[in-house]
Structure 1
Amino acid sequence: MDKSKGTIEAEISKALTHWEKNYLGRGSVSVKSDIIRDMVIVILSGILTPAEYTLCLDKEGLLSLKEHRNSLVETGLEDLKEIILTITGEKVVSFHTDISTQTGERVMVFKLSSDLQSKFC
């Protein structure tokens, strides 16, 4: 592979920030991507608005927010898979995501078709 692991991770973070702003209308405060074996793990921080934190004060609001935010991401899944494929050259075989209403972080896990980490020196 021509590029370093760190370069690819930075490209993924930048592309996902761009996707968030274009698709969801606003971006996170920070994004960190890590390639671990056959996975790309992305942590997006600062994604909840003050109103959403207030909504999360009761269980019904919390569950509603998680469901709504996860549905929004899932509707853009094909775009996300394409971003990962374009940057890494690996097909995404599964995708998992969740949001913490305590910290305002989203975790995305892209399971890849092969061990990308092993392709770096």
Structure 2
Amino acid sequence: MELTKGQMEAEISNSIIRFEKEHMGRGPTEAKTYILDDMIVVRLKNVLTPAEHQLARTQEGKGLIKQMRIQLFENSRSILEDLILKVTGCSVVSIHSDISTVTGERVIVFILSKKLKELYSGNR
């Protein structure tokens, strides 16, 4: 069965929440996914752990959080690529991500090998 755009976005959000819990140590309280042509944008809210909130009180701590999160993310890159391939059927060309130590949000952008609107069955 083909997924609608909304179903695909929901499945990606749920999969990313599971990924964050299993591989980053804490899941977000909210995730929202947007499919835009050959891009998937995922916005995660409240991803910082209590310890990271404490570290974020200083500039040095903010830098440490970013470095650690970048390394963890890079180490898990193939898992994310597989996750997106499983849901969309498209391979990932590149992944871009950043985390805010102020708001506790993470944004992940996936660039895909083709436009997704050619694949999902549309909004029904």
TM-score exceeds 0.5: yes
Is the counterpart of residue 47 in structure 1 residue 74 in structure 2? no
Rounded to whole Å, the distance in 2 between the matches of 1:54 and 1:26 is: 15
Tell me if the contact between 2:11 and 2:87 (Cα under 8 Å) persists in the aligned partners: yes
Tell me if the contact between 2:9 and 2:34 (Cα under 8 Å) persists in the aligned partners: yes
Task: Report what 1:86 is aligned to.
Answer: 86
Deviation track 1:44-101 (CA, whole Å, cap 9, x = no partner) reads 1111123312312222111111110121111111010000001001110000000011
Q: When the two structures are aligned, how many residues end up with a matched partner? A: 121
In structure 1, runs of 5+ residues without a counterpart are: none
Tell me if the contact between 2:81 and 2:91 (Cα under 8 Å) persists in the aligned partners: yes
Tell me the TM-score normalised to structure 1 length: 0.92
Identity of aligned residues (%): 45
Q: What one-letter code is carried by the residue in structure 2 that aligns with 1:90?
A: C
Other structure's SS at 2:34 match: strand
In structure 2, runs of 5+ residues without a counterpart are: none
Deviation track 1:9-38 (CA, whole Å, cap 9, x = no partner) reads 000011111122222232111111110111
Tell me the TM-score normalised to structure 2 length: 0.89
Q: What one-letter code is carried by the residue in structure 2 that aligns with 1:60?
A: E
